Amino acid sequence: MNKLEKIVKLLGKDIVSEMDGADIETLNKIIVEAETSMKTAQDELDKNEQYQELKEKVKAMGAGKREVFARQKAKIAYALEMISSKGY
């Protein structure tokens, strides 16, 4: 399934049909409305204290993994650079 097919499946036939028949002005209006809707949803989440607390907990729980991965990726990058500089 290509990217466009996935989008069509997500939107549904009715919305796709409506958008297929739309002119440029209407399509631009759809884009602005969609972006406004996403911004509103994000603003509501940002104001939600419970969401923010959970978000911080998840961030804290993943900190150890992120540190380990960053260090290990740095080791790999340095080792590859050393191998390359030694002509191997």
**SS (HEC) of the chain:** CCHHHHHHHHHCHHHHHHHHCCCHHHHHHHHHHHHHHHHHHHHHHHHCHHHHHHHHHHHHHHHHHHHHHHHHHHHHHHHHHHHHHCCC
pLDDT of residue 1: 87
pLDDT of residue 87: 83
Where are the domains positioned within the chain? 1-47, 49-88
pTM of the entire predicted model: 0.62
Tens-place pLDDT, residues 78-87: 999 999 999 8
Low-confidence residues of the chain: pLDDT under 70? none
pLDDT of residue 74: 98
